[in-house]
């Protein structure tokens, strides 16, 4: 194993009172924090006025996830310290149409190594991975099964490299990454239907814990977690799953 660097990671798990309804999601948590801290563009990827016209095209260093009634915020590198500076239990938020108070806040912090590994490590997507935009989805929908797998492997590799680059980590060797046991799942982003994937992948890289890869990671998609190191497993995907 060759260590390439370490990444500061802070994770905050939040529970609210009153309990939130089922329609609340990561986008509402992101909007709530963006409204509370408009001066810090790490929370919202926009200019300091919070307007989309000042959109920052970079890897999001603060990412939002949602699991039932629990919110999760993960900060990497420069996005880690702001999460430590917030007095979470004194914070009231507006999640969608709901005014809530934070009932419980759990913080986890540390430094997560990034490395080139001698064998493949196995990961799973905690939330759906969104690899396709409208253009490459058109090609994907017409391709044979083998070509689809090749396309997804290439996108996976590119998305991992892009995320590491966003964390100022250069991967100096060939990154090998391949999807396995992948299942398509319909997903939505800003009222647009997208094709997401649940399942697993392998890579010759030790990746930061809690990393998000792919498109719309700041809204909760593409969150990964490590399972166990394994040798390469043959990729599997349903060959007739083309619809969103």
| Same-domain check for residues 62 and 121 | no
Domain edge (last residue) among 91, 111, 131: 111
| Same-domain check for residues 122 and 224 | yes
- For 99-115, the pLDDT digits (tens) are 999 999 999 999 999 99
The residue among 23 and 144 whose pLDDT is bigger is 144
| Same-domain check for residues 67 and 84 | yes
Reference 46, options 62, 63, 34; nearest CA is 34
The residue among 171 and 67 whose pLDDT is bigger is 171
Q: How far apart are CA 83 and CA 88, in angstroms?
A: 9
Domain edge (last residue) among 84, 111, 138: 111
Average pLDDT, integer, range 172-182: 94
| Same-domain check for residues 159 and 177 | yes
Q: How far apart are CA 12 and CA 84, in angstroms?
A: 9
Say if residue 243's pLDDT is above 60: no
Say if residue 15's pLDDT is above 80: yes
Domain edge (last residue) among 81, 111, 141: 111
**Which run of H or E residues covers position 17?**
strand 2-17
- For 27-62, the pLDDT digits (tens) are 999 999 999 999 999 998 765 544 444 455 689 999
Domain that holds residue 201: 113-229
Which CATH number characterizes residue 184's domain? Answer: 3.30.70.1900
- Residue 204 and residue 161 in contact, taking contact as beta carbons nearer than 8 Å: no
In the beta sheet, which residues pair with residue 108?
A: 11
| Same-domain check for residues 33 and 91 | yes
Say if residue 244's pLDDT is above 80: no
Q: How far apart are CA 173 and CA 222, in angstroms?
A: 23
Out of 1-10, 97-106, 120-129, 185-194, pick the least confident: 185-194
| Same-domain check for residues 145 and 100 | no
Reference 173, options 182, 181, 164; nearest CA is 164
Q: Report the number of distinct structural domains present in the chain.
A: 2
Q: Tell me the pLDDT of the chain averaged across its residues.
A: 88
Q: How far apart are CA 69 and CA 52, in angstroms?
A: 28
Q: How many helices (H) and strands (E) does the chain have?
A: 4, 8
| Same-domain check for residues 225 and 120 | yes
Residue 163 CB burial class (10 angstroms; 0-12, 13-18, ≥19): buried
In Å, how far from its chain's centre is CA 185? 16
């Amino acid at each position: 194993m060759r260590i390439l660097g370490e990444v500061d990671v802070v994770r905050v798990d939040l529970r609210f009172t009153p309990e939130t309804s089922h329609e609340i999601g990561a986008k509402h948590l992101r909007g709530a924090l963006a409204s509370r801290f408009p001066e810090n563009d790490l929370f919202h990827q926009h200019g300091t006025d919070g307007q989309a016209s000042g959109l920052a095209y970079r890897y999001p260093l603060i990412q939002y996830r949602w699991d039932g009634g629990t919110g999760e915020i993960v900060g990497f590198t420069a996005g880690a310290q702001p999460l430590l500076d917030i007095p979470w239990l004194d914070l009231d938020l507006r999640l969608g149409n709901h005014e809530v108070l934070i009932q419980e806040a759990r913080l986890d912090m540390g430094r997560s190594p990034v490395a080139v590994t001698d064998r493949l490590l196995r990961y799973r997507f905690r939330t759906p991975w969104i690899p396709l935009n409208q253009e490459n989805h058109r090609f994907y929908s017409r391709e044979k099964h083998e070509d689809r797998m090749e396309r997804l492997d290439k996108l996976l590799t590119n998305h991992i490299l892009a995320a590491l680059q966003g964390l100022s980590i250069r991967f100096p060797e060939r990154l090998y990454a391949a999807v396995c046991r992948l299942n398509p799942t319909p997903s939505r982003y800003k009222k647009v239907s997208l094709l997401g994937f649940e399942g697993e992948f392998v890579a010759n890289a030790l990746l930061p814990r809690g990393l998000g890869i792919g498109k719309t990671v700041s809204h909760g998609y593409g969150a990964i977690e490590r399972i166990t190191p394994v040798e390469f497993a043959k990729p599997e995907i349903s060959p007739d799953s083309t619809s969103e």
